[in-house]
């Protein structure tokens, strides 16, 4: 049962438990090239959300493309303005009428979470996850450890899940593969392509024999009687909508072969140890995530 599912952009999603929107109206706390000391920042517009993504470093950019093309991700928001627990309680008391005194929040009462992800369970319930981007070389630093503990505690207090990710060679490969899939679909309307994308996904599962992406899509175009350019767009749609699962830890280009994943074994990015390594922190999620939309 899918109550929400995927839309491009995700304007159908309700505000999250902290009252933040998920679609084009979302504005993060930090801005690339203004609030970050990182030497390389990126600003990209998400097709999935319609909002600008301010990625602080290459690791966040790679993860952006991974989440952009994952059907497990309904929405994601970078540089999320997160009121700390004490500030949230003050806001809740004011909104619920327990106090008439309007809370005054200082800048230190609101931190920035690197990314907050919205996902749907197979039961049709929305779940929220905080993704924390940390350099692998900094994970043993005492200050970074304290920050991770703070973020994890804040996530738990608000009922959010929490995962860590770092820029690694594996994430670089996954990000580039996801970006290629993203680019192939840039002219395709995913909202109206679901049926054709499902047909193509099923066809590839039945007919793929280890050839390159270009060759299998040429065969698909001939079999399904469609233009090759259209098939490339539907290939991207099939991945984005959960009709075709690929192992993006391997390079994906027109001239490379692909590693198909059985839908029953597909995992969201935050549970894919090939991509992020750290996975969900502290405890394993028992949630069955929705896959096809």
- Helix or strand holding residue 177 (H, E): helix 169-184
Q: Enumerate the β-bridge partners of residue 45.
A: 52
pLDDT of residue 244: 98
Q: What is the pLDDT of residue 32?
A: 74
Q: Residue 85 pLDDT more than 90? A: no
pLDDT band at 35 (very low <50, low <70, confident <90, very high): low
* pLDDT grade for 168, boundaries at 50, 70 and 90: very high
Return the ∠ at Cα 151 (arms to 95 and 173), rounded to 5°: 125
Locate the DSSP E strands across 69-193.
Answer: 75-83, 110-120, 126-133, 161-165
Rounded CA-CA distance 121/106 in Å is 35
Q: What is the DSSP letter of 19?
A: S
Domain 1-187+262-293: CATH class, spelled out: alpha beta
Query: What are the tens digits of pLDDT across the range 236-285?
Result: 999 999 999 999 999 999 999 999 999 999 999 999 988 887 666 545 56
* Phi and psi based region of residue 233 (left: phi greater than 0; alpha: psi -120 to 50; beta: remaining): alpha
> What's the maximum distance between 2 C-alpha atoms anywhere in the chain?
68
Cβ neighbors of 54 (< 8 A, separation 6 or more) are 28, 30, 31, 32, 41, 42, 43, 78, 79
What is the C-alpha separation between 117 and 131, in angstroms, rounded? 7
Tens-digit pLDDT profile for residues 107-163: 788 999 999 999 999 888 999 999 999 999 999 999 999 999 999 999 999 999 999
Question: Is the Cβ–Cβ distance between 229 and 218 less than 8 Å?
Answer: no
φ, ψ dihedrals at 221, nearest 5°: -60, -40
Q: Compute CA distances 15 → 22, 23, 70, 257, whole Å.
A: 6, 9, 21, 40
**For residue 38, pLDDT beyond 60:** no
Residue 258 tokens read as: 């692909």
Is pLDDT at 91 greater than 70 in this prediction? no
Predicted confidence (pLDDT) per residue in 92-116, tens digit: 655 666 666 676 667 788 999 999 9
What is the average per-residue pLDDT within 18-46? Answer: 84
**pLDDT tens track for 184-219:** 999 999 999 999 999 999 999 999 999 999 999 999
CA distance 83 to 158: 10
Torsion-angle region of residue 57: left (phi > 0), alpha (psi -120 to 50) or beta?
A: left
Q: Distance between CA 81 and CA 52 in Å, rounded?
A: 15
Domain boundaries, the chain: 1-187+262-293, 188-261
């Amino acid at each position: 049962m899918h109550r929400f599912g995927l839309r491009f952009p995700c304007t159908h999603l309700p505000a999250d438990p902290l009252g933040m929107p998920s679609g084009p109206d979302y504005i993060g706390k930090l801005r690339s090239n203004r609030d970050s000391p990182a030497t390389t920042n990126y600003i990209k517009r998400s097709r999935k959300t319609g909002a600008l993504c301010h990625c602080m470093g290459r690791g966040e950019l790679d993860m952006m493309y991974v989440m952009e093309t994952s059907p497990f991700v309904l929405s994601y928001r970078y540089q999320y303005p997160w009121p700390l627990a004490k500030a949230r309680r003050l806001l809740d008391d004011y909104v619920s009428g327990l106090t008439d005194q309007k809370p005054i929040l200082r800048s230190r009462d609101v931190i920035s979470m690197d990314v907050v992800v919205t996902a749907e369970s197979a039961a049709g319930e929305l779940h929220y996850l905080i993704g924390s981007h940390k350099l692998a070389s900094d994970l043993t630093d005492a200050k970074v450890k304290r920050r991770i503990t703070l973020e994890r505690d804040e996530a738990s207090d608000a009922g959010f899940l929490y995962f860590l990710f770092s820029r690694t060679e594996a994430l670089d490969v996954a990000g580039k593969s996801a970006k290629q899939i993203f680019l192939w679909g840039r002219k395709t309307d995913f909202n109206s392509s679901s049926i054709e994308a499902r047909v193509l996904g099923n066809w590839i599962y039945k007919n793929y024999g280890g050839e390159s992406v270009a060759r299998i899509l040429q065969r698909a175009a001939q079999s399904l009687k469609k233009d090759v350019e259209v098939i490339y767009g539907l290939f991207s749609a099939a991945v984005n909508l959960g009709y075709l699962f690929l192992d993006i830890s391997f390079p994906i280009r027109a001239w490379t072969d692909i590693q198909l994943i059985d839908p029953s074994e597909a995992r969201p990015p935050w549970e894919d140890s090939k991509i992020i390594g750290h996975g969900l922190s502290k405890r394993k999620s028992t949630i069955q995530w929705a896959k096809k939309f």
